[in-house]
Structure 1
Amino acid sequence: MPADPVETSPDDGLPETFSTVLGDYERHLAFERNLTPHTVKAYIGDIAGLLEHAHRSGFSDVGELDLRTLRSWLAKQQSMGRSRTTLARRATAARVFTGWLARTGRTPTDVGSALGSPKPHQPLPSVLRVDEARGLIAAATTLADDGSPVGLRDVAMLELLYATGMRVGELCGLDVDDVDRDRNVVRVFGKGRKERTVPFGQPAAAAVDAWLGRGRGQLARPGSGAALFLGARGGRIDQRAVRTLVHRRIADVAGAPDLGPHGLRHTAATHLLEGGADLRSVQELLGHASLATTQRYTHVTTDRLRKAYRQAHPRA
Protein backbone atom coordinates (compact mmCIF):
# COMPACT_ATOMS: atom_id res chain seq x y z
CA MET A 1 0.00 0.00 0.00
CA PRO A 2 1.53 3.38 -0.97
CA ALA A 3 2.25 5.78 1.86
CA ASP A 4 -0.07 8.72 2.42
CA PRO A 5 1.26 11.86 0.76
CA VAL A 6 3.19 14.45 2.70
CA GLU A 7 0.99 17.46 3.25
CA THR A 8 2.46 20.18 1.09
CA SER A 9 0.01 23.03 1.58
CA PRO A 10 1.84 26.23 0.66
CA ASP A 11 1.57 29.20 2.99
CA ASP A 12 -0.17 31.27 0.30
CA GLY A 13 -3.42 32.54 1.75
CA LEU A 14 -2.25 32.19 5.35
CA PRO A 15 -2.25 35.25 7.60
CA GLU A 16 1.11 36.99 7.64
CA THR A 17 1.56 36.03 11.30
CA PHE A 18 1.23 32.35 10.39
CA SER A 19 3.56 32.67 7.39
CA THR A 20 6.21 34.40 9.49
CA VAL A 21 6.10 31.73 12.19
CA LEU A 22 6.22 28.98 9.57
CA GLY A 23 9.34 30.53 8.03
CA ASP A 24 11.02 30.85 11.43
CA TYR A 25 10.18 27.26 12.25
CA GLU A 26 11.59 26.03 8.94
CA ARG A 27 14.88 27.81 9.67
CA HIS A 28 14.91 26.31 13.17
CA LEU A 29 14.51 22.80 11.80
CA ALA A 30 17.11 23.27 9.07
CA PHE A 31 19.84 25.20 10.90
CA GLU A 32 19.35 24.64 14.63
CA ARG A 33 18.21 21.03 14.56
CA ASN A 34 20.17 20.27 11.39
CA LEU A 35 17.46 18.02 9.96
CA THR A 36 17.67 16.71 6.43
CA PRO A 37 15.86 18.66 3.71
CA HIS A 38 13.38 15.79 3.28
CA THR A 39 12.54 15.77 7.00
CA VAL A 40 12.20 19.56 7.07
CA LYS A 41 9.87 19.42 4.08
CA ALA A 42 7.73 16.77 5.78
CA TYR A 43 7.48 18.74 9.03
CA ILE A 44 6.73 22.03 7.29
CA GLY A 45 4.13 20.40 5.06
CA ASP A 46 2.35 18.98 8.09
CA ILE A 47 2.47 22.25 10.05
CA ALA A 48 1.36 24.28 7.03
CA GLY A 49 -1.68 22.02 6.86
CA LEU A 50 -2.31 22.52 10.58
CA LEU A 51 -2.08 26.31 10.29
CA GLU A 52 -4.35 26.29 7.26
CA HIS A 53 -6.90 24.31 9.26
CA ALA A 54 -6.56 26.77 12.16
CA HIS A 55 -7.06 29.70 9.79
CA ARG A 56 -10.25 28.14 8.40
CA SER A 57 -11.37 27.70 12.00
CA GLY A 58 -11.11 31.45 12.53
CA PHE A 59 -7.64 31.81 14.05
CA SER A 60 -5.01 34.25 12.82
CA ASP A 61 -2.31 33.98 15.48
CA VAL A 62 -0.43 30.96 16.84
CA GLY A 63 -1.19 32.16 20.35
CA GLU A 64 -4.80 31.19 19.71
CA LEU A 65 -4.03 27.55 18.97
CA ASP A 66 -5.62 25.15 21.42
CA LEU A 67 -5.84 21.39 21.94
CA ARG A 68 -9.31 21.22 20.44
CA THR A 69 -8.03 22.67 17.15
CA LEU A 70 -5.17 20.19 17.02
CA ARG A 71 -7.56 17.32 17.60
CA SER A 72 -10.03 18.53 14.99
CA TRP A 73 -7.19 18.77 12.48
CA LEU A 74 -6.25 15.14 13.12
CA ALA A 75 -9.91 14.12 13.00
CA LYS A 76 -10.21 15.67 9.57
CA GLN A 77 -7.15 13.74 8.41
CA GLN A 78 -8.76 10.54 9.66
CA SER A 79 -11.99 11.32 7.81
CA MET A 80 -9.93 11.71 4.64
CA GLY A 81 -8.69 8.15 5.04
CA ARG A 82 -5.16 8.87 6.21
CA SER A 83 -3.40 5.85 7.69
CA ARG A 84 -2.73 5.49 11.39
CA THR A 85 0.98 5.79 10.68
CA THR A 86 0.45 9.12 8.95
CA LEU A 87 -1.84 10.36 11.73
CA ALA A 88 0.75 9.39 14.33
CA ARG A 89 3.47 11.23 12.40
CA ARG A 90 1.35 14.37 12.10
CA ALA A 91 0.48 14.26 15.78
CA THR A 92 4.19 14.10 16.54
CA ALA A 93 4.85 17.01 14.18
CA ALA A 94 2.18 19.06 15.96
CA ARG A 95 3.64 18.32 19.40
CA VAL A 96 7.16 19.24 18.29
CA PHE A 97 5.82 22.48 16.78
CA THR A 98 3.79 23.54 19.81
CA GLY A 99 6.73 22.68 22.06
CA TRP A 100 8.91 25.01 20.00
CA LEU A 101 6.25 27.72 20.14
CA ALA A 102 6.19 27.54 23.94
CA ARG A 103 9.98 27.44 24.33
CA THR A 104 10.42 30.49 22.13
CA GLY A 105 7.72 32.48 23.92
CA ARG A 106 5.31 32.54 21.01
CA THR A 107 2.63 30.84 23.12
CA PRO A 108 2.16 30.94 26.91
CA THR A 109 1.84 27.16 27.21
CA ASP A 110 2.52 24.05 25.17
CA VAL A 111 -1.01 23.25 24.01
CA GLY A 112 0.10 20.11 22.17
CA SER A 113 1.67 18.38 25.16
CA ALA A 114 -1.61 16.51 25.85
CA LEU A 115 -2.16 15.52 22.21
CA GLY A 116 -2.17 11.75 21.85
CA SER A 117 -1.01 9.74 18.87
CA PRO A 118 -3.22 7.13 17.21
CA LYS A 119 -1.85 3.70 17.96
CA PRO A 120 -0.88 1.72 14.86
CA HIS A 121 -2.80 -1.45 14.17
CA GLN A 122 -1.21 -4.39 15.93
CA PRO A 123 -0.93 -7.46 13.73
CA LEU A 124 -2.99 -10.36 14.97
CA PRO A 125 -0.79 -12.92 16.72
CA SER A 126 -0.25 -16.25 15.03
CA VAL A 127 -1.75 -19.15 16.93
CA LEU A 128 -1.89 -22.91 16.62
CA ARG A 129 -5.04 -24.76 15.69
CA VAL A 130 -6.31 -27.22 18.27
CA ASP A 131 -4.99 -30.16 16.27
CA GLU A 132 -1.60 -28.46 15.92
CA ALA A 133 -1.44 -27.88 19.67
CA ARG A 134 -2.14 -31.57 20.21
CA GLY A 135 0.52 -32.41 17.66
CA LEU A 136 3.03 -30.26 19.52
CA ILE A 137 2.48 -32.13 22.78
CA ALA A 138 2.45 -35.47 20.97
CA ALA A 139 5.78 -34.73 19.31
CA ALA A 140 7.36 -33.92 22.66
CA THR A 141 5.77 -36.95 24.33
CA THR A 142 7.15 -39.28 21.68
CA LEU A 143 10.65 -38.01 22.35
CA ALA A 144 10.10 -38.47 26.08
CA ASP A 145 9.14 -42.15 25.74
CA ASP A 146 12.65 -43.16 26.75
CA GLY A 147 11.94 -41.77 30.22
CA SER A 148 14.83 -39.31 30.12
CA PRO A 149 14.50 -36.52 32.71
CA VAL A 150 14.91 -33.83 30.06
CA GLY A 151 12.15 -35.39 27.96
CA LEU A 152 9.78 -35.58 30.94
CA ARG A 153 10.59 -31.99 31.85
CA ASP A 154 9.98 -30.73 28.33
CA VAL A 155 6.55 -32.36 28.12
CA ALA A 156 5.58 -30.91 31.49
CA MET A 157 6.69 -27.41 30.48
CA LEU A 158 4.83 -27.53 27.16
CA GLU A 159 1.69 -28.87 28.83
CA LEU A 160 1.75 -26.12 31.45
CA LEU A 161 2.45 -23.35 28.94
CA TYR A 162 -0.49 -24.40 26.78
CA ALA A 163 -2.80 -25.27 29.69
CA THR A 164 -2.30 -22.01 31.60
CA GLY A 165 -1.23 -19.44 29.04
CA MET A 166 1.46 -18.25 31.45
CA ARG A 167 4.43 -16.20 30.30
CA VAL A 168 7.78 -17.92 29.83
CA GLY A 169 9.29 -15.90 32.68
CA GLU A 170 6.45 -16.99 34.94
CA LEU A 171 7.05 -20.63 34.04
CA CYS A 172 10.76 -20.38 34.76
CA GLY A 173 10.04 -18.71 38.09
CA LEU A 174 7.80 -21.50 39.40
CA ASP A 175 8.79 -23.38 42.53
CA VAL A 176 7.69 -26.91 43.38
CA ASP A 177 5.35 -25.63 46.10
CA ASP A 178 3.58 -23.35 43.60
CA VAL A 179 1.83 -26.40 42.12
CA ASP A 180 -1.25 -27.52 44.07
CA ARG A 181 -2.09 -31.00 42.81
CA ASP A 182 -5.06 -31.38 45.14
CA ARG A 183 -6.86 -28.59 43.29
CA ASN A 184 -4.92 -28.72 40.01
CA VAL A 185 -3.94 -25.05 40.18
CA VAL A 186 -0.62 -23.28 40.01
CA ARG A 187 0.37 -20.10 41.80
CA VAL A 188 1.90 -17.67 39.31
CA PHE A 189 3.75 -14.45 40.01
CA GLY A 190 3.26 -12.12 37.07
CA LYS A 191 4.40 -8.62 36.21
CA GLY A 192 5.02 -6.52 39.29
CA ARG A 193 5.04 -9.74 41.35
CA LYS A 194 1.27 -9.81 41.18
CA GLU A 195 0.06 -13.21 42.27
CA ARG A 196 -2.70 -15.15 40.54
CA THR A 197 -3.96 -18.71 40.67
CA VAL A 198 -4.38 -20.53 37.37
CA PRO A 199 -6.05 -23.94 36.90
CA PHE A 200 -4.73 -26.68 34.63
CA GLY A 201 -6.20 -29.92 33.33
CA GLN A 202 -5.41 -33.61 33.74
CA PRO A 203 -2.92 -33.89 30.84
CA ALA A 204 -0.77 -31.15 32.38
CA ALA A 205 -1.21 -32.69 35.84
CA ALA A 206 -0.04 -36.08 34.61
CA ALA A 207 2.97 -34.53 32.88
CA VAL A 208 3.96 -32.57 35.99
CA ASP A 209 3.56 -35.71 38.14
CA ALA A 210 5.81 -37.66 35.79
CA TRP A 211 8.44 -34.95 35.88
CA LEU A 212 8.38 -34.61 39.67
CA GLY A 213 8.18 -38.37 40.26
CA ARG A 214 10.73 -39.64 37.75
CA GLY A 215 12.62 -36.74 36.22
CA ARG A 216 13.42 -33.87 38.55
CA GLY A 217 15.35 -35.97 41.04
CA GLN A 218 17.78 -37.02 38.32
CA LEU A 219 18.68 -33.42 37.47
CA ALA A 220 18.55 -31.96 40.99
CA ARG A 221 21.79 -30.84 42.60
CA PRO A 222 22.56 -29.40 46.05
CA GLY A 223 22.08 -25.88 44.66
CA SER A 224 18.84 -26.58 42.79
CA GLY A 225 16.70 -25.10 45.53
CA ALA A 226 12.92 -25.13 45.13
CA ALA A 227 12.82 -24.51 41.36
CA LEU A 228 10.13 -26.57 39.65
CA PHE A 229 11.92 -26.89 36.33
CA LEU A 230 15.66 -27.49 36.18
CA GLY A 231 18.23 -27.20 33.44
CA ALA A 232 20.64 -29.97 32.48
CA ARG A 233 23.14 -28.78 35.12
CA GLY A 234 20.59 -28.69 37.91
CA GLY A 235 19.98 -24.95 38.08
CA ARG A 236 16.65 -23.24 37.49
CA ILE A 237 15.67 -23.49 33.82
CA ASP A 238 16.25 -20.26 31.90
CA GLN A 239 13.97 -18.59 29.40
CA ARG A 240 16.29 -19.13 26.45
CA ALA A 241 16.17 -22.89 26.93
CA VAL A 242 12.38 -22.86 27.03
CA ARG A 243 12.17 -20.74 23.88
CA THR A 244 14.53 -23.08 22.08
CA LEU A 245 12.43 -26.05 23.14
CA VAL A 246 9.15 -24.54 21.90
CA HIS A 247 10.59 -23.59 18.52
CA ARG A 248 12.10 -27.05 18.04
CA ARG A 249 8.99 -28.98 18.96
CA ILE A 250 6.69 -26.78 16.86
CA ALA A 251 9.00 -27.44 13.91
CA ASP A 252 7.98 -31.09 14.29
CA VAL A 253 4.33 -30.20 13.55
CA ALA A 254 3.71 -30.06 9.80
CA GLY A 255 2.26 -26.76 8.64
CA ALA A 256 2.29 -25.10 12.07
CA PRO A 257 3.50 -21.48 12.30
CA ASP A 258 6.83 -20.94 13.98
CA LEU A 259 5.92 -19.78 17.47
CA GLY A 260 7.74 -19.26 20.73
CA PRO A 261 6.35 -19.53 24.27
CA HIS A 262 4.38 -16.31 23.85
CA GLY A 263 2.73 -17.87 20.83
CA LEU A 264 1.50 -20.66 23.09
CA ARG A 265 0.11 -17.98 25.41
CA HIS A 266 -1.77 -16.48 22.45
CA THR A 267 -2.93 -19.96 21.48
CA ALA A 268 -4.23 -20.75 24.97
CA ALA A 269 -6.19 -17.49 25.13
CA THR A 270 -7.66 -18.00 21.67
CA HIS A 271 -8.73 -21.58 22.36
CA LEU A 272 -10.31 -20.56 25.68
CA LEU A 273 -12.42 -17.89 23.98
CA GLU A 274 -13.32 -20.16 21.09
CA GLY A 275 -14.39 -22.77 23.65
CA GLY A 276 -16.80 -20.35 25.30
CA ALA A 277 -14.79 -18.80 28.15
CA ASP A 278 -15.84 -15.26 29.01
CA LEU A 279 -13.44 -12.39 28.47
CA ARG A 280 -12.99 -11.45 32.13
CA SER A 281 -12.13 -15.02 33.12
CA VAL A 282 -9.49 -15.15 30.41
CA GLN A 283 -8.18 -11.79 31.63
CA GLU A 284 -7.75 -13.23 35.11
CA LEU A 285 -6.10 -16.39 33.83
CA LEU A 286 -3.58 -14.46 31.73
CA GLY A 287 -2.90 -11.83 34.37
CA HIS A 288 -3.75 -8.88 32.14
CA ALA A 289 -4.07 -5.60 34.02
CA SER A 290 -6.44 -4.23 31.37
CA LEU A 291 -9.38 -5.96 29.73
CA ALA A 292 -8.46 -4.16 26.51
CA THR A 293 -5.31 -6.30 26.29
CA THR A 294 -7.40 -9.46 26.46
CA GLN A 295 -9.89 -8.16 23.90
CA ARG A 296 -7.34 -8.42 21.11
CA TYR A 297 -7.88 -12.19 21.21
CA THR A 298 -11.50 -11.69 20.22
CA HIS A 299 -10.15 -10.22 16.99
CA VAL A 300 -8.19 -13.41 16.42
CA THR A 301 -11.25 -15.60 16.85
CA THR A 302 -13.34 -13.30 14.65
CA ASP A 303 -10.65 -13.39 11.99
CA ARG A 304 -10.65 -17.19 12.05
CA LEU A 305 -14.43 -17.21 11.85
CA ARG A 306 -14.35 -15.00 8.77
CA LYS A 307 -11.74 -17.24 7.17
CA ALA A 308 -13.84 -20.34 7.85
CA TYR A 309 -16.89 -18.58 6.43
CA ARG A 310 -15.09 -17.60 3.24
CA GLN A 311 -13.84 -21.14 2.77
CA ALA A 312 -17.13 -22.88 3.50
CA HIS A 313 -20.03 -20.69 2.43
CA PRO A 314 -20.99 -20.96 -1.27
CA ARG A 315 -21.86 -17.27 -1.46
CA ALA A 316 -18.99 -15.90 0.59
Structure 2
Amino acid sequence: MSNTLASAAATFESEVELPAYSLNYQYSQSPRVTVVKDTSLQAMFGKYADILWGDGSHKYNVTNFIAELHDLLQPREFSGFSQDMLDFLIGALRKRGNSNATINRKLAALRKLLRKAHKMGDVHTLPEFTRQKEKAGRIRFLDKDEEYDLFTTIRAVSEDYYRLCIFLIDTGARLSEGLGLRWNDVQEPRATFWVTKSGRSRSVPLTARAWRAIEGGDRRKSGPFATINQQRFRRAWHQCKDEIGLGHDDDVVPHVLRHTCASRLVQGGVDIRRVQMWLGHQTLSMTMRYAHLASHDLEMCIPILERMAGASPSASASVN
Protein backbone atom coordinates (compact mmCIF):
# COMPACT_ATOMS: atom_id res chain seq x y z
CA MET A 1 0.00 0.00 0.00
CA SER A 2 2.76 2.36 0.90
CA ASN A 3 4.66 1.63 -2.32
CA THR A 4 1.56 2.32 -4.37
CA LEU A 5 0.95 5.66 -2.61
CA ALA A 6 4.57 6.68 -3.01
CA SER A 7 4.45 5.85 -6.70
CA ALA A 8 1.21 7.82 -7.18
CA ALA A 9 2.68 10.84 -5.43
CA ALA A 10 5.77 10.75 -7.61
CA THR A 11 3.64 10.49 -10.74
CA PHE A 12 1.48 13.50 -9.60
CA GLU A 13 4.53 15.68 -8.93
CA SER A 14 6.01 14.87 -12.32
CA GLU A 15 2.78 15.59 -14.25
CA VAL A 16 1.50 18.62 -12.32
CA GLU A 17 3.62 21.73 -12.02
CA LEU A 18 2.97 23.32 -8.72
CA PRO A 19 3.11 27.20 -8.61
CA ALA A 20 5.98 28.76 -6.80
CA TYR A 21 4.96 31.26 -4.08
CA SER A 22 7.26 34.11 -3.28
CA LEU A 23 6.49 35.83 0.02
CA ASN A 24 8.05 39.24 0.23
CA TYR A 25 7.34 41.04 3.54
CA GLN A 26 8.03 44.75 3.62
CA TYR A 27 8.03 46.44 7.01
CA SER A 28 7.03 50.08 6.87
CA GLN A 29 8.36 51.89 9.94
CA SER A 30 7.16 55.44 10.60
CA PRO A 31 9.76 57.99 11.71
CA ARG A 32 10.07 58.19 15.49
CA VAL A 33 8.34 61.29 16.84
CA THR A 34 10.30 63.06 19.55
CA VAL A 35 8.27 65.33 21.80
CA VAL A 36 10.33 68.38 22.64
CA LYS A 37 9.32 70.07 25.89
CA ASP A 38 9.55 73.87 25.80
CA THR A 39 11.01 75.01 29.12
CA SER A 40 11.17 78.73 28.46
CA LEU A 41 9.57 81.30 30.75
CA GLN A 42 7.04 82.18 28.08
CA ALA A 43 5.97 78.54 27.71
CA MET A 44 5.66 78.09 31.47
CA PHE A 45 3.60 81.25 31.73
CA GLY A 46 1.27 80.00 29.03
CA LYS A 47 0.90 76.76 30.96
CA TYR A 48 0.28 78.15 34.44
CA ALA A 49 -0.83 81.80 34.09
CA ASP A 50 -4.54 81.09 34.40
CA ILE A 51 -3.91 78.99 37.50
CA LEU A 52 -1.69 81.51 39.27
CA TRP A 53 -3.29 84.83 38.30
CA GLY A 54 -6.90 85.88 37.88
CA ASP A 55 -8.01 88.24 35.15
CA GLY A 56 -7.38 91.91 35.76
CA SER A 57 -4.75 94.62 35.65
CA HIS A 58 -2.31 92.61 37.76
CA LYS A 59 -2.35 89.71 35.32
CA TYR A 60 -1.87 92.17 32.46
CA ASN A 61 1.22 93.58 34.19
CA VAL A 62 2.57 90.13 34.97
CA THR A 63 2.18 89.14 31.32
CA ASN A 64 4.42 92.04 30.33
CA PHE A 65 6.90 91.28 33.14
CA ILE A 66 7.37 87.65 32.09
CA ALA A 67 7.64 88.58 28.41
CA GLU A 68 10.42 91.04 29.22
CA LEU A 69 12.32 88.54 31.39
CA HIS A 70 11.91 85.88 28.69
CA ASP A 71 13.50 88.18 26.12
CA LEU A 72 16.42 89.00 28.43
CA LEU A 73 17.33 85.40 29.28
CA GLN A 74 20.00 83.60 27.26
CA PRO A 75 19.56 80.74 26.71
CA ARG A 76 15.79 81.02 26.90
CA GLU A 77 15.18 77.35 27.67
CA PHE A 78 16.51 75.78 30.85
CA SER A 79 16.04 72.80 33.13
CA GLY A 80 17.28 74.58 36.23
CA PHE A 81 17.17 78.27 37.15
CA SER A 82 20.51 79.20 38.70
CA GLN A 83 21.54 82.06 40.95
CA ASP A 84 23.69 83.39 38.12
CA MET A 85 20.62 83.59 35.87
CA LEU A 86 18.75 85.57 38.51
CA ASP A 87 21.69 87.93 39.10
CA PHE A 88 21.96 88.47 35.35
CA LEU A 89 18.30 89.47 35.14
CA ILE A 90 18.62 91.91 38.04
CA GLY A 91 21.64 93.54 36.41
CA ALA A 92 19.92 93.74 33.03
CA LEU A 93 16.83 95.35 34.55
CA ARG A 94 18.97 97.93 36.34
CA LYS A 95 20.70 98.80 33.06
CA ARG A 96 17.25 99.46 31.61
CA GLY A 97 16.63 102.02 34.34
CA ASN A 98 14.28 99.91 36.50
CA SER A 99 14.04 101.03 40.12
CA ASN A 100 14.39 98.50 42.92
CA ALA A 101 10.64 98.68 43.50
CA THR A 102 9.98 97.80 39.86
CA ILE A 103 12.56 95.01 39.94
CA ASN A 104 10.89 93.58 43.05
CA ARG A 105 7.52 93.47 41.31
CA LYS A 106 8.96 91.70 38.29
CA LEU A 107 10.91 89.20 40.38
CA ALA A 108 7.84 88.48 42.50
CA ALA A 109 6.04 87.35 39.34
CA LEU A 110 9.06 85.31 38.27
CA ARG A 111 9.37 83.65 41.68
CA LYS A 112 5.70 82.68 41.72
CA LEU A 113 5.91 81.18 38.23
CA LEU A 114 9.14 79.27 38.92
CA ARG A 115 7.84 77.83 42.19
CA LYS A 116 4.81 76.44 40.38
CA ALA A 117 6.99 75.04 37.58
CA HIS A 118 9.32 73.49 40.15
CA LYS A 119 6.41 71.88 41.95
CA MET A 120 5.18 70.40 38.66
CA GLY A 121 8.64 69.08 37.74
CA ASP A 122 9.40 71.49 34.90
CA VAL A 123 12.31 73.12 36.72
CA HIS A 124 14.75 71.18 38.87
CA THR A 125 16.56 73.94 40.79
CA LEU A 126 15.57 77.39 42.03
CA PRO A 127 17.67 80.37 43.16
CA GLU A 128 17.32 82.28 46.40
CA PHE A 129 15.22 85.39 45.85
CA THR A 130 16.26 88.42 47.89
CA ARG A 131 14.08 91.52 47.96
CA GLN A 132 15.87 94.62 46.68
CA LYS A 133 15.95 97.53 49.09
CA GLU A 134 13.39 100.14 48.09
CA LYS A 135 13.55 103.86 48.70
CA ALA A 136 10.56 105.69 50.07
CA GLY A 137 8.96 107.09 46.96
CA ARG A 138 6.98 110.25 46.38
CA ILE A 139 3.23 109.88 46.76
CA ARG A 140 1.40 111.76 44.01
CA PHE A 141 -2.20 112.77 44.54
CA LEU A 142 -4.57 115.13 42.76
CA ASP A 143 -5.56 118.50 44.14
CA LYS A 144 -9.10 119.76 43.61
CA ASP A 145 -8.25 121.75 40.47
CA GLU A 146 -6.46 118.80 38.87
CA GLU A 147 -9.37 116.53 39.70
CA TYR A 148 -11.85 118.94 38.14
CA ASP A 149 -9.84 119.44 34.93
CA LEU A 150 -9.09 115.74 34.48
CA PHE A 151 -12.57 114.48 35.26
CA THR A 152 -14.23 117.09 33.05
CA THR A 153 -12.04 116.05 30.12
CA ILE A 154 -12.69 112.36 30.76
CA ARG A 155 -16.43 112.97 30.98
CA ALA A 156 -16.39 114.51 27.50
CA VAL A 157 -14.98 111.20 26.23
CA SER A 158 -17.22 108.81 28.16
CA GLU A 159 -19.81 109.15 30.90
CA ASP A 160 -18.97 105.62 32.04
CA TYR A 161 -15.27 106.51 32.41
CA TYR A 162 -16.28 109.57 34.44
CA ARG A 163 -18.49 107.48 36.74
CA LEU A 164 -15.62 105.05 37.31
CA CYS A 165 -13.21 107.86 38.22
CA ILE A 166 -15.67 109.31 40.74
CA PHE A 167 -16.12 105.89 42.32
CA LEU A 168 -12.38 105.19 42.53
CA ILE A 169 -11.40 108.53 44.04
CA ASP A 170 -14.11 108.37 46.72
CA THR A 171 -13.60 104.70 47.67
CA GLY A 172 -9.84 104.31 47.20
CA ALA A 173 -10.53 101.11 45.25
CA ARG A 174 -7.97 99.77 42.83
CA LEU A 175 -8.93 99.89 39.17
CA SER A 176 -9.34 96.10 39.02
CA GLU A 177 -11.55 96.19 42.14
CA GLY A 178 -13.83 98.81 40.65
CA LEU A 179 -14.15 97.02 37.32
CA GLY A 180 -14.78 93.72 39.10
CA LEU A 181 -17.60 95.08 41.26
CA ARG A 182 -20.90 93.21 40.85
CA TRP A 183 -24.41 94.43 41.61
CA ASN A 184 -24.72 92.01 44.53
CA ASP A 185 -21.59 93.60 46.03
CA VAL A 186 -23.37 96.93 46.44
CA GLN A 187 -25.80 97.52 49.28
CA GLU A 188 -26.52 101.16 49.99
CA PRO A 189 -24.57 102.77 51.45
CA ARG A 190 -21.62 100.31 51.15
CA ALA A 191 -19.60 98.49 48.52
CA THR A 192 -17.79 95.21 49.16
CA PHE A 193 -14.65 94.20 47.28
CA TRP A 194 -14.26 90.44 47.26
CA VAL A 195 -11.39 90.00 44.79
CA THR A 196 -8.51 92.10 46.12
CA LYS A 197 -4.75 92.19 45.80
CA SER A 198 -4.31 91.09 49.42
CA GLY A 199 -6.83 88.28 49.04
CA ARG A 200 -8.95 89.73 51.85
CA SER A 201 -12.37 91.18 51.21
CA ARG A 202 -13.32 94.59 52.60
CA SER A 203 -16.32 96.90 52.66
CA VAL A 204 -16.31 100.68 52.54
CA PRO A 205 -19.15 103.20 52.94
CA LEU A 206 -20.05 105.28 49.89
CA THR A 207 -20.19 109.03 49.48
CA ALA A 208 -23.31 110.48 47.86
CA ARG A 209 -21.56 111.00 44.53
CA ALA A 210 -19.99 107.51 44.61
CA TRP A 211 -23.49 106.09 45.04
CA ARG A 212 -24.75 108.16 42.11
CA ALA A 213 -21.85 106.87 40.03
CA ILE A 214 -22.96 103.31 40.77
CA GLU A 215 -26.62 104.03 40.04
CA GLY A 216 -25.66 105.28 36.60
CA GLY A 217 -24.59 101.76 35.60
CA ASP A 218 -26.56 99.43 33.35
CA ARG A 219 -28.51 96.98 35.52
CA ARG A 220 -28.63 94.52 32.61
CA LYS A 221 -24.88 94.04 32.93
CA SER A 222 -23.06 92.10 35.64
CA GLY A 223 -21.87 95.20 37.48
CA PRO A 224 -21.91 99.01 37.56
CA PHE A 225 -18.75 99.29 35.46
CA ALA A 226 -18.94 96.02 33.51
CA THR A 227 -19.17 97.85 30.17
CA ILE A 228 -15.69 99.33 30.59
CA ASN A 229 -12.65 97.76 28.94
CA GLN A 230 -9.60 98.36 31.10
CA GLN A 231 -7.12 99.00 28.30
CA ARG A 232 -9.40 101.40 26.49
CA PHE A 233 -9.97 103.27 29.74
CA ARG A 234 -6.22 103.58 30.30
CA ARG A 235 -5.70 104.92 26.79
CA ALA A 236 -8.46 107.49 27.29
CA TRP A 237 -6.97 108.45 30.67
CA HIS A 238 -3.55 109.19 29.17
CA GLN A 239 -5.05 111.14 26.28
CA CYS A 240 -7.06 113.28 28.68
CA LYS A 241 -4.13 113.87 30.99
CA ASP A 242 -2.10 115.07 27.99
CA GLU A 243 -4.88 117.51 27.09
CA ILE A 244 -4.80 119.22 30.49
CA GLY A 245 -1.01 119.51 30.57
CA LEU A 246 -0.15 116.57 32.84
CA GLY A 247 1.34 114.38 30.14
CA HIS A 248 4.85 114.92 31.52
CA ASP A 249 3.90 113.54 34.96
CA ASP A 250 4.48 109.78 34.93
CA ASP A 251 2.83 109.43 38.35
CA VAL A 252 -0.57 110.56 37.12
CA VAL A 253 -1.92 107.11 36.32
CA PRO A 254 -5.33 105.68 37.35
CA HIS A 255 -3.78 104.46 40.62
CA VAL A 256 -3.34 108.13 41.60
CA LEU A 257 -7.06 108.12 42.45
CA ARG A 258 -6.40 105.60 45.24
CA HIS A 259 -3.53 107.74 46.53
CA THR A 260 -5.77 110.80 46.42
CA CYS A 261 -8.46 109.09 48.49
CA ALA A 262 -5.93 107.99 51.12
CA SER A 263 -4.29 111.41 51.25
CA ARG A 264 -7.62 113.17 51.77
CA LEU A 265 -8.53 110.82 54.60
CA VAL A 266 -5.25 111.47 56.40
CA GLN A 267 -5.35 115.21 55.79
CA GLY A 268 -8.90 115.26 57.11
CA GLY A 269 -7.79 113.83 60.44
CA VAL A 270 -8.73 110.14 60.05
CA ASP A 271 -6.36 108.03 62.14
CA ILE A 272 -3.88 105.87 60.27
CA ARG A 273 -5.38 102.57 61.45
CA ARG A 274 -8.77 103.42 59.96
CA VAL A 275 -7.08 104.44 56.72
CA GLN A 276 -5.35 101.05 56.68
CA MET A 277 -8.69 99.28 57.02
CA TRP A 278 -10.27 101.51 54.36
CA LEU A 279 -7.55 100.75 51.80
CA GLY A 280 -7.22 97.09 52.74
CA HIS A 281 -3.47 97.23 53.36
CA GLN A 282 -2.07 94.04 54.88
CA THR A 283 0.56 95.91 56.89
CA LEU A 284 0.50 99.30 58.59
CA SER A 285 3.83 100.18 56.94
CA MET A 286 2.04 100.49 53.60
CA THR A 287 -0.38 103.04 55.04
CA MET A 288 2.38 104.93 56.85
CA ARG A 289 3.47 106.32 53.49
CA TYR A 290 0.65 108.83 53.91
CA ALA A 291 1.36 109.66 57.55
CA HIS A 292 3.45 112.75 56.78
CA LEU A 293 0.33 114.42 55.39
CA ALA A 294 -1.02 114.61 58.94
CA SER A 295 2.03 116.51 60.21
CA HIS A 296 -0.10 119.60 60.88
CA ASP A 297 -1.53 117.72 63.85
CA LEU A 298 1.87 118.09 65.53
CA GLU A 299 0.98 121.68 66.41
CA MET A 300 -1.13 120.33 69.27
CA CYS A 301 2.09 119.07 70.88
CA ILE A 302 3.47 122.58 71.48
CA PRO A 303 1.12 123.59 74.35
CA ILE A 304 1.79 120.29 76.07
CA LEU A 305 5.57 120.71 75.86
CA GLU A 306 5.35 124.31 77.07
CA ARG A 307 3.10 123.36 79.97
CA MET A 308 5.40 120.53 81.02
CA ALA A 309 8.46 122.75 80.70
CA GLY A 310 6.78 125.40 82.88
CA ALA A 311 6.33 122.86 85.65
CA SER A 312 10.02 121.97 85.75
CA PRO A 313 12.57 123.60 88.17
CA SER A 314 14.50 125.08 85.25
CA ALA A 315 11.43 126.87 83.86
CA SER A 316 12.52 130.21 85.32
CA ALA A 317 16.08 129.87 84.01
CA SER A 318 16.97 131.95 80.95
CA VAL A 319 17.60 130.13 77.73
CA ASN A 320 20.74 131.12 75.87
The alignment's TM-score, normalised by the length of structure 1, stands at 0.47
The alignment's TM-score, normalised by the length of structure 2, stands at 0.46
